Each structure stands twice: as C-alpha cells, then as structure tokens.
Amino acid sequence: MNVEHTVPPGPRWLYLHGFASGPESTKGVALAAHFARQGIHLERLNLRQPSLEHLRMSAMMRTVRDAIGTARDRAVVLGSSLGGLTASRVAEEDPRICALVLLAPAFQMMTQVRRSLGPEGMRRWEEQGWLEVHDYAEKRPSRVDFGFVQEMDALEERSGRWPDVRVPTLMIHGRQDTTTDIAFSREWARGKAHVRLVEVDDGHELTVSLGLIQTEVDDFLRSFRVSVSTTPAPA
C-alpha cells in the first residue's frame, strides 16, 4: 500500500534593505519580482525600527527573528548594506537561518562611518545628538540619533568586530563602492570555504549588476528551493 507523506515547506525568503532605505528599494523590488516569476515569495522587511530617527540594530535584528517564524521554521536571508550586516549578526546567533546573500554588506559599519565623517563630523553628531541623512524611502532629509552609534559600538564590543557566520554565504560587492569599502568584504571572506565573494564593476547600489546578481543568486540558492508537495512513500 502506498502511503502519502507531505514534504515540509522550504525556508522563508527574506530581504533586508539598507540604511535610510526601505522595503520598496530598487534591488528589493527587482529581486522580489524575479523570484515571484519562479513561484518564490521574497518578503521585504521594514528595518526602519523603531523608526529611522531612532534606528537601533537590536530592533532590526528582532524584526528579522520575528519574521522567520517559529522554532521549527528556517529562512534564507538576502541583505543589502546595513541589511547585510543585520542578516550576518542574526545568523551568528540564530540557527534558523540556513543561507545568506549579502550585497555590499556594511561590515564594521562604524569604522567606515568614522572614516567618512572624520573626527569633526562624529563630534558634531554626538554633541547635536543627531545626524542629518537623506531618507531614500521618503525622498526627503531626515535624522538619525546618536544612540545608533552607541548601540553599534556596544554590539561590536560584545560580539566582536566581525560576525561569526557559519552558514553558506554568497557576497556580491562592487569594486567602485565608495559607501561600504570592498576591502572589508574581502577580509571577511578570506579563508572561509563556506563564503563566496563575487566582485563586480559597480558602485554601492549595484543597479548595473542586477542581472548578474539574479543569476548568481539563482545558482547559489538552487538547493534551497523546496516546495510543498506530496509524494508516495515506499510500500
């Protein structure tokens, strides 16, 4: 007699946008449409948590953990820039994440921000209590308070400068990126057999490389495309 059994559904697919961006970002929308054509739902999370002005990594990480679901659920997480760093930080703690795709990840973000703003810029941020940024989602000037810096520094002090990720990881980073230096991705990937770094001739947004990104991600995540189905078990 043949007995039918149900193959468990595959992992959830989550997309994490970057700093001062949102769920409607160009890459997020393009990737969601790409996977939708293959019958895969890519959930684009809102990481402006609890708000852009009071942005906190702890709230962003909690949003990701909640989106994965129950203790039995699994997730493939794609993250861009700060979203890539967030994905990595969650993955080092949460065994429910089974694979990562990191697009220009913001490794050692505060090191890079301090380099960009310089000592005077950082002093003004601390003294004013906020930094003016361009809100790419709302298309207007906005602010991020200095608590973001304090929490990010505390996280690195507690967990280390580099995320300790053990799951299969694909990274795609542009050599012309002037926002998140590719040197950090190169250093993090060095010597890790489970990490593949693909370098492209593109900037931080990676919009020129969207087609290549889709091809690379399709190939990398092929083994994770498990759908709900029923199959007969042996008699």
Please spell the DSSP secondary structure of 70-126, one letter per residue: STT--EEEEEETHHHHHHHHHHTT-TTEEEEEEES--TTHHHHHHHHHHHHHHHHHH
Is 200 contained in some domain? yes
Is 109 contained in some domain? yes
User: Which CATH number does the domain housing residue 105 bear?
Assistant: 3.40.50.1820
Q: Tens digits of per-residue pLDDT, 147-178? A: 999 999 999 999 999 999 999 999 999 999 99
Is 4 contained in some domain? no
User: At 143, which helix (H) or strand (E)?
Assistant: strand 140-145
Q: Count CA atoms closer than 13 A to 103's CA, side-chain side.
A: 27
Is 77 contained in some domain? yes
CA–CA distance, 44 with 109 (Å, rounded to integer): 22
Is 3 contained in some domain? no
For the ranges 1-15, 18-32, 179-193, the lowest mean pLDDT is seen at 1-15
Is 87 contained in some domain? yes
CA–CA distance, 220 with 198 (Å, rounded to integer): 12
Q: Give the domain extent around 135.
A: 12-217
Query: What are 100's strand-pairing partners?
Result: 77, 169
The answer to whether 200 and 170 have CB atoms below 8 angstroms apart is no
pLDDT of residue 4: 43
Cα 95 to chain centroid, rounded: 16
Q: Is the pTM of this model over 0.85?
A: yes
- pLDDT beyond 80 at 227: no
Q: Tens digits of per-residue pLDDT, 70-115? A: 999 999 999 999 999 999 999 999 999 999 999 999 999 999 999 9
| Six token digits for residue 187 | 């250093």
Considering its fold, how many domains does the chain have in total?
Answer: 1
Short-list 226, 183, 227, 213, CA closest to 15: 213
Query: What value, to the nearest 5°, has the Cα angle with vertex 214 and ends 56 and 224?
Result: 80
Is 44 contained in some domain? yes
The answer to whether 72 and 95 have CB atoms below 8 angstroms apart is no
- pLDDT beyond 80 at 199: yes
- pLDDT beyond 80 at 52: yes
- Band (224; pLDDT cuts 50, 70, 90): confident
CA distances from 48 to 16, 55, 132, 159 (A): 10, 6, 16, 22
Is 235 contained in some domain? no
